[in-house]
Structure 1
Amino acid sequence: MAATRTPPADKFEARRRELATAALQTLGELGYARASLREIAQNSPYSHGVVHYYFADKAELITYCVRQYKAECVTRYDAIVESAADAEELAERFADALVMTVVEDAAMHRLWYDLRSQAQFDVALRESAVEIDAALEQMIWRVVSRHAELRGTDPAFPSARIYAMLDGLFQQALLQGLSGADGGADLRAGALELLALR
């Protein structure tokens, strides 16, 4: 039996994912402004030429990394939405997952907020930042609307407002954690309060 060959496009995409994964630690530590493609390459098993072959510039690499991470993040919450038996279980598991990710994935979230801020100045980042932000809003809305459905009510606020409030709570908890404080308890309490609004 002949071995199946991986199409070139699939190999190219697999290598991009591999490079992005290798770059994440450097990007999470240095942020957008301080990380160059050369520095990212120096902190990975790949040469600057290889990184530059697969990504045109730093903006493309960082956007790719954040998209890849956020796509995985969305599935984490979708599993909670699909499996929760009632509104209380959904709220508790969602709040716990928020706290877990703000602690365990702090560097990645810090990179996301950096990218989103830089998009206000760098037009090359803007479309991707808006797209990722919209995907995150939709993710939160799935949780909130399912929670309201399980309670037999309607969400207290429209999608954009709920996302903005929860995003603010998340960003505060992230900053507290990066400063050595424990922002997880406030994040958890705030998420539960927000879901409980009628």
Structure 2
Amino acid sequence: MTTAAARRTPADKHDERRRALADSALRTLGELGYARSSLREIANNSEFSHGVVHYYFRDKHDLIVYCVKQYKASCVHRYDGVVAEATTADELVRGFAAKLVETIVEEAPMHRLWYDLRSQSMFEESLREAVLYIDQTLEDMVWRVVARYAELSGAAPAMTSHVAYGLLDGLFQQALLGYLCGKEGVLDDLTAQVHGLMPVLLAPASAP
């Protein structure tokens, strides 16, 4: 037995099992959404029994919040490479817009689930703490991009992180909806909109 294996505690094994269950459940959740999902439905579409799923998660709310938190925890670092590698403002915007398009194409069901959960939190108080936490991590992610863009442009942001996030998230959500509806050109529109919006986020240069 390796040293690493010997050091794994029951709590570690429990967490690993929860993560595996969440990974298995995400596809079903992304397809069905919050309202139509149940623990039994999720179990029926995975390799795990209903009893196993219920053992590791109290209810549907517990599972869905855990799944979305786990998924978004990886998403918040999606643009770190673009931020680190860009050497010009234009390069940063091109990389950022390309990543936004890529994640819509590759992971649309997961984003749909997130927006579904955020909408449900308007009605279900038990969801709000988790939604606010995830929303803040996404806002911080966007702000890292905006702050680096401002630095490369030699300017200062013209608005707060909250406003910048709201604007970019709105464009992303509209593009996601258009993509899910099969609207032609929606991803090209998103790219153009991001290129047009980013300069607006900066304060105008001061006169000499």
After TM superposition, the score normalised by the length of structure 2 is 0.92
CA distance in 1, matches of 2:85, 2:69: 25
Match of 1:196 among 196, 199, 203: 199
Q: How does 1:38-77 map to 2 (within 5 A)?
A: 38-77=40-79
CA distance in 2, matches of 1:133, 1:180: 27
CA distance in 2, matches of 1:45, 1:60: 19
Question: What is the CA distance between 1:190 and its match in structure 2?
Answer: 1.4
After TM superposition, the score normalised by the length of structure 1 is 0.96
Question: What is the CA distance between 1:2 and its match in structure 2?
Answer: 5.7
* Amino acid in the other structure paired with 2:163: R
Structure number with larger C-alpha Rg: 2
Once the two structures are superposed, what CA deviation does each residue of 1:78-102 show, in whole Å capped at 9, x if it has no partner?
Answer: 1211121121111110000001101
Aligned to 2:142: 140
Gaps of 5+ in 2: 203-208
Q: How does 1:60-139 map to 2 (within 5 A)?
A: 60-139=62-141
Gaps of 5+ in 1: none
Aligned residues: 198
Once the two structures are superposed, what CA deviation does each residue of 1:125-156 show, in whole Å capped at 9, x if it has no partner?
Answer: 11000000011001000000110011110112
CA distance in 1, matches of 2:61, 2:83: 33
CA distance in 2, matches of 1:63, 1:78: 24
Taking only aligned residues, the RMSD between alpha carbons, in angstroms, comes to 1.2
Moved over 6 A (4+): none
* Amino acid in the other structure paired with 2:16: A
Query: Do structure 1's residue 186 and structure 2's residue 194 form an aligned pair?
Result: no
Match of 2:170 among 152, 164, 168: 168
Please give the secondary structure, in 1, of the residue aligned with 2:77.
helix
Once the two structures are superposed, what CA deviation does each residue of 1:50-96 show, in whole Å capped at 9, x if it has no partner?
Answer: 11111111111111111111111111111211121121111110000
Percentage identity across aligned positions?
Answer: 59
CA distance in 1, matches of 2:196, 2:169: 14
